[in-house]
Amino acid sequence: MKQWEYEQLQSELTKKIQNNPYGRTANFKREDGYKEGILAAKSILHNFYKWKGGTEE
């Protein structure tokens, strides 16, 4: 994975947190769960990128 790909994916996931569809419904459990799920995905992506060494292939 190239660095720009990693950064783009992280950016897109950050936008997902900011545009949380449950933020407008006042359903705080779903809002928090959605955010936690996106943060988990960002963490997994980060660990994968570090494991692969940020290759330029």
Q: What is the DSSP letter of 55?
A: -
pTM above 0.95, yes or no: no
Domain ranges of the chain: 3-52
Residues with Cβ within 8 Å of residue 2, at least 6 apart in sequence: 54, 55, 56, 57
- pLDDT digit string (tens) for 34-48? 999 999 999 999 999
Q: What share of the chain is helix, strand, coil (3-state, %, to 5)?
A: 70, 0, 30
- pLDDT digit string (tens) for 1-57? 899 999 999 999 999 999 988 887 778 899 999 999 999 999 999 999 999 876 555
